[in-house]
Amino acid sequence: MARFLLTLFVIVFAGMSPAKAQQTFFVQIEAQPSLAQAQASIQRFLSRVQDVNGFDLGNGWFGIALGPYAEEQANSILINLQGARLIPQDSYVEPSSRYVRQFWPVGANLLSTNTVAASTQAAQQNSNTPSAAEETTLPSDETIAQARASEARLTKEERGALQEALQWAGFYNGKIDASFGRGTRNSMSRWQDANRFEPTGVLTTKQRAELFRQFNAVLEGLELRDSIDTAAGISMKLPLGVVAFENYDPPFAHYNSSGNLNARVLLISQTGDSGTLRGLYEVMQTLAIVPPEGDRSISSEEFTLFGANADLTSFTQASLEDGEIKGFSLIWPTGDEERRTRLLNEMRISFSRVEGVLDPNSNANAAESIDLISGLLVRKPIKSRSGFYVDGNGTVVTTAQAIGECKRVTIDEFHEAEVVLVDKDSDVAVLKPKSKLSPLDVATFQSLIPRLNSEIAVSGYSYGGLLGAPTLTFGSVADTRGLNGEPSFNRLALNALEGDAGGPVLDNSGAVIGMLLTEKSDGRKLPDEVSFSLNADAISSVLTDRGFDVTSTETREAIPAERLSDRASGITVLVGCWD
């Protein structure tokens, strides 16, 4: 098939205006750093295409090229052979002046003049086209018998790929089984008719090349090439027209955008076990490159992560074999779905493991950042506030301001939560975890009115979760009413931070006397050491009115500072608001 295909291309374009004898061109398909490697590559290509030549490129490199042709012939052959997947996608046209000398075929010198005409004449003599009386001939193409003969030489994989291309084009909706039954033949006829070919139900070599050209057109410009990252121990196709290697930051090899397209590829490579695999799975879901909306799956041996938002679409796969975790991520702009899907399929099919795994110390001297994991930005909420558990089911109370305009709410970063109640009058919001949680402790509300000037402590994530645990800020009760005499407020002598809002206010017995409120934006700036809380009675009323059970106490017996700290830490949570 391949030999006839190239012969056919030469015949088709033989009638074009001839190029000047000295102006010859070749289709450069590969370059190797040694003569032995180049000779081995030539043997591979000889079984697929004809007019294979080997040239010294200079500087220790040796090229494999098809030709010689006139320039227009070379460009057309390049497109059709790429479409038929007979030569690499990064092949290109080169003038004969690029080559130093010819080493294959032995004794040949196609760099001399008049070679284009000789090649065309030889191709015509070797076409072996049957006479018109033998059977019907399609214009400027194979006969039906020739088409069937070339089709019979297709491998099972090539036949399946042809069905996939017909399916992509919208003409085939059957099973990809590499069997050309009635459904496949009918789809071929419909495709031929739509593309102004005679609808015979048998695609000629030229027609298959055109179908694959259409199929692969979406990948043009990506320069999809077979690549081996020896440090990561991964071989696969990479879109090197839009991404380029930047650095290693274990467990990732970073291939970042090299142009205007916001695309990137990560190669994943590290040693480990099933626990390491699960840890990687959890960590990657905190990254900005993995949007939270999308399908996830994990087993003891592999995981996949899919995420998409308005800006990017991300796919990650990784698997564990022989103590090594390897995989990749493709991050692509949202809206370019056809190209992304085709590219992802090519990458997944071509992915294979080779010897080696990324050295965990390969980037030991790189500057670290609290917002980065292995050079990747950690996804952050648009705001973080505090809250506290009020029952054993993981129900959380926080300030309504903490969850305003949030598309997604989390408890302690990883647990998705549902907003079940917002009481704007009291500024109370109630959250229910979407998966079961078992709190270390739950709030006990103080039924007694707090004494003036009694010591209190606010437990909260003062710095938005930066420290990883709540902090205690100590102060005292300045008044049991608001500035305007509101009975549901307590005024506190306490210097709180924005992240503390929604956190519990505790007396020295560990009972909750209120919830810290945010400063109201009414144009007045309060002194630094003035804060307000909604009192325990108001919070309890909101909860009990909606059917929640609360625990209360009338005990004021002080507990040791360590126990107070443990109790505060056990009930306080970080509330995240995400866009």
Q: Which helix (H) or strand (E) holds 343?
A: helix 337-350
> What pLDDT score was predicted for residue 403?
85
What are the backbone angles phi and psi of residue 488, rounded to the nearest 5°? -90, 0
> What pLDDT score was predicted for residue 179?
92
DSSP single-letter state for residue 515: E
163 close to 181: Cβ distance less than 8 angstroms: no
What are the backbone angles phi and psi of residue 355, rounded to the nearest 5°? -65, 140
- Tokens read off for 363: 């980037």
375: left (phi over 0), alpha (psi -120 to 50) or beta: left
DSSP for 373-416 reads ETTEEBP--SEEEEEEE-STT--EEEEGGGGTT-SEEEETTTEE
CA distance 146 to 153: 11
**No. of helices (H) and no. of strands (E), the chain:** 12, 31
User: Three-state SS for 249?
Assistant: strand
Tens of pLDDT, residues 113-165: 444 434 443 333 333 333 333 334 344 468 888 888 888 888 898 899 899 99
391 close to 444: Cβ distance less than 8 angstroms: no
DSSP single-letter state for residue 218: G
> What pLDDT score was predicted for residue 125?
33
Tens of pLDDT, residues 417-439: 999 999 888 889 999 998 888 89
Longest dimension (CA), the chain: 113
Which residues, other chains included, contact 369 with Cβ-Cβ below 8 Å and sequence gap of 6+? none
Sign of the C-alpha dihedral computed for residues 481, 485, 486 and 487 taken in this order: positive
- Tokens read off for 519: 């400063």
Distance of alpha carbon 125 from its chain centroid, rounded? 52
Distance of alpha carbon 388 from its chain centroid, rounded? 35
> What pLDDT score was predicted for residue 455?
93
> What pLDDT score was predicted for residue 146?
85
CA distance 125 to 134: 19
Compute how many other C-beta atoms are within 10 angstroms of the C-beta atom of residue 355.
Answer: 6
Rg of the chain taking only CA atoms, in angstroms: 35
> What pLDDT score was predicted for residue 331?
95
Closest CA to 456 of 471, 473, 443: 473
| Strand partners for 446 | 553
- Tokens read off for 483: 């500035």
Q: What is the pLDDT along the chain (579 residues), one digit of tens a residue?
A: 444 344 434 333 333 344 344 579 999 999 888 888 888 888 888 877 878 999 988 878 889 999 999 988 888 888 888 877 788 888 888 898 888 888 888 777 888 644 443 444 333 333 333 333 333 434 446 888 888 888 888 889 889 989 999 998 899 999 999 999 999 999 999 999 999 999 999 999 889 888 988 888 888 889 988 899 999 999 999 999 999 999 999 999 999 999 889 999 999 999 999 999 998 998 888 888 898 888 999 999 999 999 998 899 999 999 999 999 999 999 999 999 989 998 998 899 899 999 999 988 766 555 454 445 666 776 678 888 999 999 988 999 999 988 887 888 999 877 889 999 998 888 899 999 988 888 989 999 999 999 999 999 999 998 877 777 899 999 999 998 888 888 889 999 988 888 899 999 999 999 999 999 987 645 566 777 888 999 999 999 999 988 898 999 998 899 998 899 999 999 999 999 887
> What pLDDT score was predicted for residue 525?
65
- Tokens read off for 241: 């027209």
CA distance 328 to 234: 9
CA distance 272 to 319: 11
> What pLDDT score was predicted for residue 4?
39
Compute how many other C-beta atoms are within 10 angstroms of the C-beta atom of residue 469.
Answer: 9
CA distance 255 to 248: 9
Amino acid at 250: P
Distance of alpha carbon 481 from its chain centroid, rounded? 54
Sheet containing strand 101-104, edge to edge, reads 92-95, 25-32, 61-69, 52-58, 101-104
CA distance 219 to 208: 17
Which residues, other chains included, contact 509 with Cβ-Cβ below 8 Å and sequence gap of 6+? 446, 553, 555, 556, 557, 558, 559
Which residues, other chains included, contact 555 with Cβ-Cβ below 8 Å and sequence gap of 6+? 509, 511
> 142-173 in b/e burial notation, b at 16+ Cβ within 10 A?
bbbebbeebbeebeeebbbbbbebbbbbebbe
Compute how many other C-beta atoms are within 10 angstroms of the C-beta atom of residue 437.
Answer: 18
